[in-house]
């Protein structure tokens, strides 16, 4: 999550989910962004999304579809092609998936009292309605903070606040973290793990090193502010910093997991996401 666009929320959530699956977890990935980037990366065109069952059909009271009916199983994800569209690439991300579509935008303004609890209720229903038990549900969020983000937070045990190491993103991150703390306090969400994940870091760029130090200050100031306001929160900067690598963007463009990327440099990047997934899974299971 983050209020800032283009910092890598979708990229990290997809590769994280793929790594969690590879580590043996049964994962459900839910696109909650009306922009539907993850749905598009996974091979669904905008006009198709308007025709199939999405998270919008689950959340709007007029449709109120059970979550289980919106799930697309991993084996049914569309086939993918390489960047030049010449050959088929493997498309097994390892997780089941719920797509989103632009109609979800209207949910923010819709009248439905208590809708902040809707995602949590639907997840709880899922556990009683199917024999499939998911170990993890990963949500991808839109770059803002409204009812959808609040509903996602209420349904979650942990938050990844993804940022890039530039000054403007760190300013927005600071505002996001404070809003997120307030929401936790207001809804009594019982201390989640909040990891700040720094993405697209370039070790040769002095500004990136400076901003990383600035992010440490933002986090320690927030910890102080939380204490002053009686908010308990377990917030940390994740020590796995994701480098800026063109292979990451290329693999996203083809919609294939990095482990399937046709060159070794791409596949080597998988280790970063595996480490991230392993540490996050350990922390969340501790709670």
Ligand X SMILES: Nc1ncnc2c1ncn2[C@@H]1O[C@H](COP(=O)(O)OP(=O)(O)OP(=O)(O)O)[C@@H](O)[C@H]1O
Per CB under 6 A, residues contacting ligand X are 5-11, 33, 35, 37, 143, 199-200, 242, 244-245, 248-249, 252
Identify the bridge partners of residue 158 per DSSP, sorted by sequence position.
193
Q: Which does 115 bind (CB under 5 to 8 A by kind): ligand X, Mg ion, none?
A: none
Give me the half-sphere count of Cα atoms (radius 13 Å) on the Cβ side of residue 64.
Answer: 6
4 forms part of the interface with Mg ion (CB under 5 A): no
Q: Which does 55 bind (CB under 5 to 8 A by kind): ligand X, Mg ion, none?
A: none
32 forms part of the interface with Mg ion (CB under 5 A): no
With respect to ligand X, which residue has the nearer C-beta, 11 or 174? Answer: 11
Q: Which span (7-15, 82-90, 109-117, 198-206) binds Mg ion, by CB under 5 A?
A: 7-15
Query: Torsion-angle region of residue 131: left (phi > 0), alpha (psi -120 to 50) or beta?
Result: alpha
Q: How far is the CB of 216 from ligand X (least distance, A)?
A: 20
DSSP secondary-structure letter at 107? Answer: G
Q: Which does 5 bind (CB under 5 to 8 A by kind): ligand X, Mg ion, none?
A: ligand X
Query: Of these, 9, 118, 122, 208, which contacts Mg ion (CB under 5 A)?
Result: 9
Q: Which span (33-41, 121-129, 206-214, 239-247) binds Mg ion, by CB under 5 A?
A: 33-41
Q: Which does 164 bind (CB under 5 to 8 A by kind): Mg ion, ligand X, none?
A: none
Q: Which span (18-26, 37-45, 70-78, 93-101) binds Mg ion, by CB under 5 A?
A: 37-45
With respect to ligand X, which residue has the nearer C-beta, 126 or 255? Answer: 255
**N-term to C-term CA, the chain:** 20
Q: Which span (2-10, 50-58, 176-184, 261-269) binds Mg ion, by CB under 5 A?
A: 2-10
Distant-in-sequence contacts of 70-77, Cβ < 8 A, 24+ apart: 70/98, 70/99, 71/28, 71/96, 71/97, 71/98, 72/96, 72/97, 72/98, 72/99, 77/42, 77/43
Backbone angles phi, psi at 98, to 5 degrees: -120, 120
With respect to ligand X, which residue has the nearer C-beta, 35 or 257? Answer: 35
Query: Of these, 2, 19, 21, 37, which contacts Mg ion (CB under 5 A)?
Result: 37
Q: How far is the CB of 204 from ligand X (least distance, A)?
A: 14
Q: How far is the CB of 243 from ligand X (least distance, A)?
A: 6
Containing 78, the helix (H) or strand (E) segment is: none
With respect to Mg ion, which residue has the nearer C-beta, 159 or 222? Answer: 159
Interface positions with Mg ion (CB under 5 A): 9-10, 37
């Amino acid at each position: 999550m983050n209020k800032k666009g283009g910092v890598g929320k979708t990229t990290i959530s997809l590769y994280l989910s793929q790594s969690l699956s590879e580590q043996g977890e049964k994962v459900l990935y839910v696109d909650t962004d009306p922009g539907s980037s993850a749905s598009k990366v996974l091979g669904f065109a905008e006009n198709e999304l308007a025709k199939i069952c999405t998270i919008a059909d689950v959340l709007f009271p007029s449709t109120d579809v059970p979550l289980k009916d919106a799930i697309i199983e991993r084996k049914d994800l569309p086939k993918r092609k390489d960047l030049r569209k010449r050959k088929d690439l493997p498309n097994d991300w390892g997780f089941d998936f719920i797509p989103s579509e632009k109609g979800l935008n209207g949910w923010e303004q819709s009248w439905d009292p208590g809708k902040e609890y809707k995602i949590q209720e639907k997840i709880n229903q899922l556990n009683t309605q199917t024999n499939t038990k998911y170990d993890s549900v990963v949500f991808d969020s839109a770059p803002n903070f409204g009812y959808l983000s609040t509903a996602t937070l209420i349904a979650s045990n942990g938050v990844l606040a993804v940022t890039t190491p530039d000054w403007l993103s760190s300013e927005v991150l600071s505002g996001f973290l404070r809003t997120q703390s307030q929401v936790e306090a207001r809804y009594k969400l019982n201390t989640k793990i909040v990891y700040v994940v720094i993405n697209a870091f370039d070790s040769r760029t002095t500004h990136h090193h400076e901003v990383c130090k600035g992010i440490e200050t933002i986090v320690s100031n927030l910890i102080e502010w939380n204490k002053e306001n009686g908010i308990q929160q377990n917030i940390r900067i994740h020590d796995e910093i994701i480098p800026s690598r063109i292979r990451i963007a290329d693999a996203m463009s083809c919609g294939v997991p990095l482990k399937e990327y046709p060159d070794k440099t791409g596949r080597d990047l998988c280790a970063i996401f595996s480490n991230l997934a392993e540490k996050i899974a350990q922390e969340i299971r501790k709670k």
